[in-house]
Every structure is written in structure tokens, then in C-alpha cells.
Amino acid sequence: MIERMLNTRLAGWIDERTNAVSFIRYHLIDYPTPKSLNYWWAFGSIALVILIIQIVTGLFLAMNYKASTVATGGGFTVAFDSVERIMRDVNYGWLIRYMHAVGASSFFFVIYLHMARGIYYGSYKGPREVLWLIGVALFLIMQSTVFFGYLLPWGQLSYWGATVITNIFGATPVIGPWLTELVRGGFSVGDPTLTRFFALHFLFPLVLFAIVILHVLALHKTHSNNPTGVEQKSKKSVIPFHPYYTVKDLFGIGVFLIIFAYFVFYNPTGFGYFMETDNFSPANPLHTPGDISPVWYLTPWYEILRMIPSKTGGILALNLAFILLFLLPWLDRSPVRAATYRPVFRQMVWLFFVAILVMGYCGHHPVTPVYNLIGRIAGGVYFGFFLLLPFVHKFENPKPLPEEEGA
């Protein structure tokens, strides 16, 4: 049916003037994909679906949300009130809001799995370095987007989370305090901060969408990796993206939607992890809630910030954590891609993933000597992974690689 549509005279007329049909034909239909991709390759398309859900639900929320900290009595504000209005008075507002909150956590969950696939199977290695760099950049833009968005409900955690993180800018040498004031638009997080964060939260997902297109173009230039890590170049080892991977991705998306719908309709607060209990109390600038920790998906990075005893040291460590992620293609010197065939790297990668989870767990809890110690050990593993990598290929004995699929 799609073929019939693309072969019409109208399609031809458009294609003569834009290359649209040839573009669609190559990138969505003919794109040669290895036969052997497993379901870890489904997360990219699932992430795209979630991005679209977030943009659509976000737009409809923005039709009713008001970014203003003007007080409406009892500690409540116009912003907080507008969110409750969406939940109660706007037709199906509750559904749109819950989809957006569950969507945000889902987005990070899926992207973490997507990145894990990239690290495990060596998809970051040449010639896919730029693909990887664009991906890490997308991850950072996602983090900024969610940081701006979390302030909008103007709850206790919204306010104090923003206060703590914008304070961190203050530790930047020389320009610190100037930078903090610039970001906040005032001397503390307040109305100017809220309005600009709303503007930025609206903009960033659209920027994200544009860069995702670059991400896919970079992928299509080098072609996809596969679970063996061995380049699949022969015609017998690749199949066209449509119908094979369109239907496979649809199945993956279906499974995702079932889990997504369960949370939206039956557990929207996600056991207190998607929508945190304290954030249902309006922001009180005079009283900090018991434990402030970021939402679960930012906790590993928050723990890196906290584990260094000095404020500046923490910022430097966090920056280094992301820079090392960018440098991954050049730190790892082994010509073998997939961890399946690299006994030493494989153990390191699993330890690396566990370390991130442990740092997340610690980051969620208040600072106690025990959590601090465990967090630092995990941090050591995280940084150790990158620092050890350049040397691994020297003493690792990779397993024999399989022949090209279908050859």
C-alpha cells in the first residue's frame, strides 16, 4: 500500500521538486539492515515514539499551564493552581498530565537501555564515532529538558531541586555567582526563573527532535551495527528495513505501550518514583523538605556531584564523567566491537552498569557514612572503567569472531 502511494503521479511531482520520495524510500524502506539484530535494537524507535508522545502531551499541557509564581493564598501559586486545574477541570487533563509524567520516566528508562546496547555491542567504535557523539549530546539535552520541566509545577521538590542545582553553578571558578544569577534571573529561584524555564522546556524537545534526525542520518551513513560486531556488508546478510524492521519495531512499540498504559492508568505516580510525593506540596521557600534528591533518572549523576567533598571538585567530577562518555570511542582501542567476544571488557561493562545503578541508589538517599562509602566505591568503578579501557586491548584475548551472517 505504501508502495502504491509512492508510485503515484502526485508523489512523482513532489519528488521531482524535493527528493522527498527517494528520501523516504531509502531511509524508511530500502535501508539495508543486518538480519541478525536482536530486540536491544528496538529501543531507538521506541524512544522516538516517546519523544513524540512528550511533545504532543506537552503542547496540550502548555495550552492550560500558567508559568507564574503570583501567590493565590495558603502558599499556593498561579502555576501550582493551573496544574491542579488541568488535573480536575480540563477535559481529560488528568490523562494528558499523567502521560507526560510517566512519559518522562519512560524516556529515560528506554534511553538508558539504548545507551547500554551501544556500549555493550561497541556501536560507538569507528566509523560510528559521530553517531555516538550526537547520542551523548542528545542525552545531555534530555537532562536539561527534564531539569527545566521539573520546576514548572512549582512544588516543594521543584523549587528546592532547582535551587540546589542552580547553586552548583555558583561553584564554577571566577564566574560562578554571576552565572547563577544569570540562570535564575534573580537572587533566588523565582518568577523570572519559572518563565524562562517554561520557554526553554518548550523549545528543547523541538531541538532534540531536529538532532535526532541528524542522529539517524549519521546511522544511515555508516549503517547499523549488529550483535556480532562484525560488519555485515554482503547482500546476503542484510534485509530491507521495511517490512522486516518496521514490523519488528511495531511489536517492540506494542510491548512498550502496554507497560506505559499500565503505569498511566493504574500507577501514574510510579510508586513515588515518577511523581514524587513531596512535590504535591506547594513550594515553600522558607522550609526545605526532608530529603531532596532528584528524580530517579538523575540520581547517578547527582551522586557523582556529591561524592567529592569539595563543591568545585564535584562539578569537575560531573563534567569529567560526561567528557569521558564522549571520549569512549577513542579510549577503547580494541578492534573487536561486541562484548560477547571480549571476556575482560564484558566483565568491566557489567560492573560499569552495576556501578551506575549503585550510584543512582546512593544518590536517592541522604548522605550518611555508609551511603557515602558505597557511592564512592561505585564512583571509583565508573571512572575506573574509562581509565582502564585504553589498556584492555593489550592483554585481552578476544574469542574468535563469527563469519559474516548469511555468507
Partner 1 sequence: MDDKDKGRRDFLYTVATGMGVAGAATAAVPFVRSMQPAADTMAASTTEFDLASLSPGELKVIEWRGQPVFVLHRTPEMIKEIRGHNQMLKDPQSRAIPEVQAVWMKSEAQRIDRSIRPEYLVISAVCTHLGCVPTFKPTPGQKDWGNSVPSDWPGGWHCECHGSYYDLSGRVIKGSPAPYNLHAIPYKYLHDATVLIG
Partner 2 sequence: MRQTVMTVTRPIVFVAILVCAVLSTKIASAVEATSSLKQAHINLDKKTINKGLQVFTDVCMGCHSARYLTYHDLMDYPMFGLTRKEAQDLSGGQPLTAAMMSSLPPEAAKQSFGVAPPDLSIIAKAREGKGDYIYSLLTGYGHDPKGNIPDGNYNEYFPGHRIAMPDPLGWLNRDASDTDSLKEQARDVASFLVYISDPHQIERHAIGKWVMIFLVVLTLVFYLLKRAVWKDVKH
Interface positions with partner 2 (CB under 8 A): 35-36, 38-39, 73-74, 76, 81, 84, 87-88, 94-95, 98, 227, 239, 243-244, 247-248, 250-251, 253-255, 257-258, 261-262, 264-266, 269, 271-273, 277-278, 280-281, 357, 361, 406
Contacts to partner 1 from residues 195-254, by CB under 8 A: 250
Residue 34 pairs in a beta bridge with 238
Q: How far is the CB of 240 from partner 1 (least distance, A)?
A: 15
End-to-end CA distance of the chain: 32
Asked if 261 is part of the footprint of partner 1 (rule: CB under 8 A), the reply reads: no
Closest distance between partner 2 and the C-beta of residue 355, in Å?
13
Residue 91 in contact with partner 1, rule: CB under 8 A: yes
- Cα 29 to Cα 2, 24, 233, 239: the distances in Å are 10, 7, 18, 10
Q: Which is nearer to partner 2, 73 or 173 (CB)?
A: 73
Confirm if 396 and 342 have CB atoms less than 8 A apart. yes
**Do the Cβ atoms of 359 and 375 come closer than 8 Å?**
yes
Q: Which position among 34, 93, 155, 398 is part of the footprint of partner 1 (CB under 8 A)?
A: 93
96 binds, among partner 2, partner 1, none (CB under 5 to 8 A by kind): partner 1
Burial of 225 (0-12, 13-18, 19+ CB in 10 A): buried
What span, in angstroms and rounded, lies between the C-alpha atoms of 332 and 37? 23
CA distances from 90 to 198, 226, 280 (A): 20, 47, 19
The Cα–Cα gap between 183 and 298 comes to: 20
Convert 232-270 to b/e letters by CB count within 10 Å (16 or more is b): beeeebbbebbeebeebbeebbeebeeebeebbeeebbb
Residue 91 CB, nearest approach to partner 1 (Å): 4
Cβ distance 54 to 100 under 8 Å? yes
Which of partner 2, partner 1, none has residue 262 at its interface (CB below 5 to 8 Å by kind)?
partner 2
Of the pair 93, 329, the CB lying nearest partner 1 is at: 93
Q: How far is the CB of 243 from partner 2 (least distance, A)?
A: 5
H-helix or E-strand spanning residue 72: strand 71-73
* Residue 150 or 169 having the CB closest to partner 2: 150
The least distance separating partner 1 from the CB of residue 249, rounded to whole angstroms, comes to 13
Which range of residues in 24-32, 43-51, 85-93, 211-219 is near partner 1 by CB under 8 A? 85-93
Question: Cell digits for 155?
Answer: 512544588
Asked whether position 48 contacts partner 1 by CB under 8 A, the answer is: no
From the list partner 1, partner 2, none, which binds 90 (C-beta under 5 to 8 Å, kind-based)? partner 1
Minimum CB distance to partner 2, residue 311 (Å): 28
- Considering beta carbons, is residue 4 or 88 the nearer one to partner 2? 88
Question: How many angstroms separate the most distant Cα atoms in the chain?
Answer: 73
Binding site for partner 1 (CB under 8 A): 1, 56, 60, 63-64, 85, 88-93, 95-96, 250
